[in-house]
Amino acid sequence: MPLANGFLRQEDFSSEFFFELGFGVCEDCSLAQLMQNVPREKMFHSEYPFVTSSSRRMTEHFHNWADDVVRERLSAADPFVVEIGSNDGTLLQPIAALGIRHVGVDPSANVAALAQSKGINTVCRFFDEETAKDIVHKNGCADVVLAANCLCHIQDLHSLAAALEIVLKPQGVLIFEDPYLGDVIDNVAYDQIYDEHASYFCILSVKNWLSPPGFEIVDIQPQNVHGGSMRYVVARTGAHAVTPRVSVLEQWERRRGLHLLETYRQFALDVNRSRELLLAMLERLNKEGCRVVGYAATSKSTTVLNYCGISSALLEFISDTTPMKHGKFSPGMHIPVRPHEDFQARYPDYALLFAWNHAEEIINNERAFNDAGKHWIRYVPKVEAF
Ligand code: DWN
C-alpha cells in the first residue's frame, strides 16, 4: 500500500513509497493494530493534506463537544486544556474563544499554522513525554486532555501513557474519540485500515492498555460520526466514579468476540466479498458505457482503490474540496484528483462515495445530482447504488 494521504504529482510516481499493510489482533490484550508501522515523519509533515474543518457536520460535532467540556469539566479556577493532534484548531476554537488557557499539539506545520492563524495556541511537534514535560513546565498540568481521531495514530502507546501521566492533574481527565472497532468489523469498513491508523480501539484493548499505568475508563459515549466512533473518558484509577455503561459495552464486546481470532478471520472473508461486489459493479457500469467518478479523495479511498485494484479505466477522476489535493493523483492507483466544480460542471452517471461517513451531509448538499437522475455508489455497510 502507498501512504493514504500521499497524493502526488506525476514527476513523483517513480519514487512513491509503499509498505505492507497488515491488520492483526493481539490475543493477549485484544488490541487490533497494524502489523507494520510507517515512520511517523513520512505521514505527518508540513504538507499534511487533511483539515478537520473540511466537513461542516464534523465542525458542528466538535463545537458541541467543546461546549460539553466547558460545561461539565472545567469548574476549576483558571482551567487548562491540552489537545493532542489539534489539526486546524476546530475543537479548541470555542474553548479559546472563552479565554480558557489551552495548548494544541500537532506535528503537521501547515495545519498547525492554520490553527495559529485563528488564535489557537499551538505547538508544532509530536506529542510524547518530552512534549508533555515542556507543556507542564510552561503551563502546569492539564484539567482536560482532548484527542479527536488522534490517539489511533500514535504508534507507541506505552510512551503515550507515560506522557499522559506527566501532563494530567491528579483529578484530570483524558477524553478521546476514535473510530470504534466494533463498527469497523460490523460494517465491513475495511477502508478505515491504513498507515495513519496504527490502532483500532475498543473497551477491552483500551482497558488493557491503560490499566497498568494506573488509569481507568470512567465513561464511554458512542458517537454517530466517521461511521461509528467511541468517546472514552479516562481518569486515574479511583479518581472518578465509573458509569455502568463501561461494563455493559465490555460485555457486548466479549459476546461479539472482539477478543477472538475467529472474528477477524470472518472479517477478512467479508472484506474480500465486499471487494468482489464493488469490482463487479464498477466493471458492469464500465461495460455499459457509464461515467463513474469518485467523490472525496479521502484517506480511506486509498485503501479501497489499491486493495480492489480500481484504476482510472474504471474511475475517471476523484472530486474533492481540498485545494491542496487538486492537480495531484491518488496514491498508488494515480487517479486524477479534481476540484468539486468539475463534478458539478458535468455530472457523471455514478459517483462512488469515498466519504460515506459524511453521506448525510453530502447527499443533502448534492440533491441536484439525484434529481438529475444520477446515482451514488457506496460500499459501507454494503455495496449498493442508489
Ligand atoms: O483519522 C483521520 C480522519 C478523521 O480524517 C485521518 N487519518 C485523516 C482523515 O481521514 P479521511 O481523509 O478519510 O477523512 P474524511 O473526513 O472522511 O474525508 C475528508 C476528505 O473528503 C477531504 O479531502 C475533503 C473531502 N470532502 C469533499 O470533497 N466533500 C469531504 C466532504 C464532507 C465533502 O463534502
DSSP 145-170: EEEES-GGG-S-HHHHHHHHHHHEEE
Enumerate the β-bridge partners of residue 295. Answer: 319, 353
Q: What is the pLDDT of residue 151?
A: 98
Residues 234-253 pLDDT 10s: 999 999 999 999 999 999 99
Residue nearest to atom 10 of ligand 1 (CA): 299
Q: Is the Cβ–Cβ distance between 303 and 4 less than 8 Å?
A: yes
Residue nearest to atom 3 of ligand 1 (CA): 149
Three-state DSSP at 144 gives: strand
CA distance 193 to 302: 10
DSSP secondary structure letters along 188-201: T-GGG-STT--EE-
Question: Percent of the chain, pLDDT > 70?
Answer: 100
37 CA distance to ligand 1 centroid (A)?
Answer: 22
Q: What is the pLDDT of residue 226?
A: 96
How sure is the predictor about 113, in pLDDT bands with cuts at 50, 70 and 90? very high
Residue of 148, 183, 212, 198 whose CA lies nearest to 31: 198
Compute the half-sphere exposure of residue 137: CA atoms within 13 Å on the CB side of its CA.
Answer: 6
Query: Can you say whether the dihedral through the CA atoms of 369, 371, 376, 381 is positive or negative?
Result: positive
pLDDT, mean over the chain: 98
Instruction: Check if 123 has its Cβ closer than 6 Å to any atom of ligand 1.
Output: no
Residues 69-90 pLDDT 10s: 999 999 999 999 999 999 999 9
154 CA distance to ligand 1 centroid (A)?
Answer: 19
Substitution candidate for ligand 1 out of 65, 87, 223, 299 with most atoms within 8 A of CB: 299
Instruction: Check if 300 has its Cβ closer than 6 Å to any atom of ligand 1.
Output: yes
How sure is the predictor about 347, in pLDDT bands with cuts at 50, 70 and 90? very high
User: Burial letters for 240-274: b for 16+ Cβ neighbours within 10 Å, e otherwise?
Assistant: beeeeebeebbeebeeeebbeeeeeeebeeebeeb
**Can you tell me the mean pLDDT for 324-342?**
98
> Which stretch of DSSP H or E encloses residue 104?
strand 101-105
Instruction: Check if 322 has its Cβ closer than 6 Å to any atom of ligand 1.
Output: yes
**Can you tell me the mean pLDDT for 182-196?**
98
Q: Is the Cβ–Cβ distance between 62 and 226 less than 8 Å?
A: no
Instruction: Check if 96 has its Cβ closer than 6 Å to any atom of ligand 1.
Output: no
Instruction: Check if 299 has its Cβ closer than 6 Å to any atom of ligand 1.
Output: yes
Q: What is the pLDDT of residue 298?
A: 98
Q: Is the Cβ–Cβ distance between 385 and 281 less than 8 Å?
A: yes
CA distance 275 to 304: 8
Q: What is the pLDDT of residue 41?
A: 97
Q: Helix, strand, coil: what percent of the chain each, to 5?
A: 40, 20, 40
Q: What is the pLDDT of residue 115?
A: 98
How sure is the predictor about 342, in pLDDT bands with cuts at 50, 70 and 90? very high
Q: What is the pLDDT of residue 216?
A: 98
Q: Ligand 1, closest atom to CA 365?
A: 34
Q: What is the pLDDT of residue 335?
A: 98
Residues 91-110 pLDDT 10s: 999 999 999 999 999 999 99
Which three cell numbers, joined as nine digits, stand for 311?
Answer: 484504476
Enumerate the β-bridge partners of residue 231. Answer: 177, 221
DSSP 355: T
Q: Is the Cβ–Cβ distance between 2 and 332 less than 8 Å?
A: yes
CA distance 167 to 83: 11
**Can you tell me the mean pLDDT for 273-289?**
98
Sequence-ordered alpha helix ranges (H) in the chain: 40-43, 56-73, 93-97, 109-117, 129-139, 157-167, 181-186, 203-210, 245-256, 261-287, 299-308, 340-345, 359-365, 367-371
Instruction: Check if 128 has its Cβ closer than 6 Å to any atom of ligand 1.
Output: no
Q: What is the pLDDT of residue 229?
A: 98
CA distance 5 to 330: 8
CA 93 to chain centre: 19
